Amino acid sequence: MAKYQSFKHPKINLNQNYQLRITNLNKSVMKIKKGDKVKILAGKDKGKIGKVLQIFQSSNRASIEGLNLLIKHMRPRKKGEKGQRIEFPAPLDLSNVILVCPACDKPTRVGYKYIEVIKNEIKQKKKVRVCKKCQQVID
């Protein structure tokens, strides 16, 4: 019997393609930033509005002040010390969050626009976030 060799495609390296996809995911544009006012669309705090504390770009999540609170039980570390219950805001997926426009105070999608800015007597184009409802600059 003849021994079969494993087939390898000459142009495609699966491991390399997988790594390319991961790096492209990490470089995605984040439309919501730290300090933004957002409304929760799904989950136990649906409809509530809060401020973004932290963004986790790699996992596409955001931690929002006072919302999606979880309780962590801490054991006593020293003898005679009591255990504690610590509440902390757990990160939410960004697909379950929508930005609240600071100008019109409505939940809105985010667009981008280039504005000409004069810096050191040189005209430069700056990319800014724009409210889709009222067309006001968010940044």
Q: How far apart, in Å, do the first and last CA atoms of the chain sit?
A: 70
Residues 41 and 64 in one domain: yes
Same domain, 127 and 79: no
Within a domain: residue 44? yes
The residues near 102 (Cβ < 8 Å, ≥ 6 apart) are 37, 138
Does a structural domain hold residue 59?
Answer: yes
Structurally, the chain folds into a number of domains equal to 2
User: Does residue 14 have a pLDDT over 80?
Assistant: no
Q: What confidence score (pLDDT) does residue 131 get?
A: 94
CATH number (domain holding residue 63): 2.30.30.30
Query: Is 122 a domain residue?
Result: yes
Asked if the structure places residue 56 within a domain, the reply is: yes
User: Does residue 21 lie within any of the structural domains?
Assistant: no
Verify that 67 and 107 share a domain, yes or no. Answer: no
Return the higher-pLDDT residue of 135 and 13.
135
User: Would you say 100 and 49 are in contact if contact means Cβ atoms under 8 Å apart?
Assistant: yes
Report residue 85 as tokens: 């219950």
Q: Which structural domain, as residue segments, surrounds residue 114?
A: 103-139
In which band, very low, low, confident or very high, does the pLDDT at 27 lie, cut at 50, 70 and 90? low
| Tens of pLDDT, residues 55-114 | 999 899 999 999 999 999 999 988 889 999 999 999 999 999 999 999 999 999 999 999
Same domain, 51 and 62: yes
pLDDT, the chain, mean: 84
Evaluate whether residue 71 is within a structural domain: yes
Structure-block tokens of residue 68: 């999606």
Q: Are residues 77 and 114 in the same domain?
A: no
Shared-domain flag, residues 51 and 84:
yes
Residue 6 belongs to some domain of the structure: no
pLDDT of residue 120: 85
**How much is the pLDDT for 4?**
53
Q: Is the pLDDT of residue 134 over 90?
A: yes
